[in-house]
Amino acid sequence: MNRKSEQSWFTYLLRCKDQTLYTGITTDLTQRLHDHNFTAKGAKYTRGRRPVKLVYSEEFPSRATAARREYQIKRLSRKEKEQLIQNSDQH
C-alpha cells in the first residue's frame, strides 16, 4: 500500500439488492466492497441485502473529514442521494 492510500479516506454509497442505499467510510474501497459482499466484516445492514454495488464515493484527507461527509450524506433524503449518484455518473 502506498503512502497516499494509507492517508486517504473515502465516503461511499452502496446500492443493495433491495435497492436501499448504505453509506459508510473506509480507507480501501475495493476491500470494503468485498467485505460487504462476501465476509462477516461487512455491515450487518448489508449482509441480508447482498449483492451490493458501489455507486458513489468521495476521497478525503482524513477520517474526520470523511466521517463528517458520511454524516451529511446520511441526513439527505433518498431523492437527494439519488441525485448525488446521478450527478457523479455524468463526469
Q: What is the CATH number of the domain that holds 24?
A: 3.40.1440.10
Is 21 among the domain residues? Answer: yes
Nearest to 12, CA basis, from 20, 21, 1, 2: 21
What average pLDDT values come out for the chain (91 residues) when binned by 10 residues? 66 98 98 96 94 98 98 98 90 49
Is 29 among the domain residues? Answer: yes
Is 73 among the domain residues? Answer: yes
pLDDT of residue 90: 61
Is 85 among the domain residues? Answer: no
pLDDT of residue 2: 46
Amino acid letter, 67: A
pLDDT of residue 89: 77
pLDDT of residue 76: 98
Q: Which domain holds residue 14?
A: 10-77
